Chain A
Amino acid sequence: MEPTIIGRIGYAFVSLFVITNYGLLLIGSMARISAKVQGRVGQPVWQPYIDIVKSSAKRNSIGHGAMFYLGPVFRLAGGVGTYMFIPAVFGSVLFRNFSDSGDLLLVMYFIFFGQLGMALGAGEGGHPYSAIGVSRGLAQMTAFEVPFALSVIAVAAQYGTLDINAIVAAQQGGFAHWTLATNPLAVIAAIVAFLGMSGHNPFSVVIAPQEIPIGPPTEYQSNLLGMLQTNRAIFNGAKLVLYMNLYFGGATNIVAMVIKTFLIYFVNVFVGQAFPRLRTDQSIRFFLGAPTLVGIASVIIAVI
């Protein structure tokens, strides 16, 4: 039975709540896994929750004008918007979100909308490190967008649609139908782009604590920081779900979703622990090199 629009909004809230918590736990558990690599015990898995409560419970905060406040709002809107147009679990009414109302292009737009909004707000902070961080972030974003967009084009061309539900539907029926199996080059380009997108090493140029502590959010504090932390969880979850849908056959139940997204994210953290950080120019050169060529090849494979 098709739920009413009110019901769908209610479902969307439930789904958003689930992905927020999942994202926070994912960040917490990944911090613990990285700690294991480093030979430590690491923070509690629920530490991100406490951090958000703490940040929001700060008693005072400073502002630098309206745009400064709008930065995290835009970013949160970008995160929520991205998630709202992706089906988290294929075929589920609860986790379908509004995926039938939007397509892949809208999702891609939302991924970058948040970053642009953040750039505007952080620039307002007036700190030179914020400004440098913003310029680095935007420069790297344009670079990793090339392989990512090529890979998305390959997927769209392969399945002949931009509708994410249709793309997932086309991948059902076992591993051999996944994009991973049918067009591995597109997956390679996309995963490399994801390293840049998630800002782990070696592509952590945006927040680089030893260089520009800590980039765009330098001036953000208190509840604004709490908002950014919440968004980080949602946005991470949304991107992981998108990747799972596009390349790894989607998920038909929540357990499969958790396992697949966990593994995708794990690749990031794993790479992040083993590498130092590239410079901005090096990372741009990297993304415009091999990953772009792989992306072009994947498009060619998909078209012929």
Chain B
Amino acid sequence: MNELAKELAGRYGARGWHDIRKDLASVEVDAIRIRDVMAYLRDEAGYGHLSFMTAIDNIERGAFTLSYALRDHDARRGLIVHADVDRAEPTVDSIHLLWGQAWTYQREMREWFGIDFPGSPRVDEEFVLEGWEGPPMMRRDFDSLAYSDATYAERPGRVTHDPASHMREKLYPEAAQ
């Protein structure tokens, strides 16, 4: 545990500091404090560069885990900040005022996961999709193959094999029988 971990834990109740490798760590905070944590990390702790933001659908826990990857270029280390939000009603504070490119990521997450960022510019506009009528497609309960089969016409003759069973039949035909 280092200084920053203690500081974050004391100020914002951060927990679970984990050193992934020597120049990358991860920490978990509450989603409600995410903007304060980010502002602190940017202004006080030197993590001035936002590499990317994304979300992970932890459907088993009923939560989206947001990941904010920051980088301190002077100290040459990175930090991934995690925050869980409720999967049923995902709303997170927007950080578009802290970083100039954050609104694009928020727009992406809004479209891909359905996570809302109130106040973020153009957040309700379509980002990469157009006329999309299905559920947010990066959620784990959206089945890409079923949607594709139902929507797009297929050329007859294409076969898809399960790799494991196909290889077993090819390489060990006697064992497969």
State yes or no: do A and B touch (Cβ within 8 Å). no
A residues near B (Cβ < 8 Å) are none
B residues near A (Cβ < 8 Å) are none
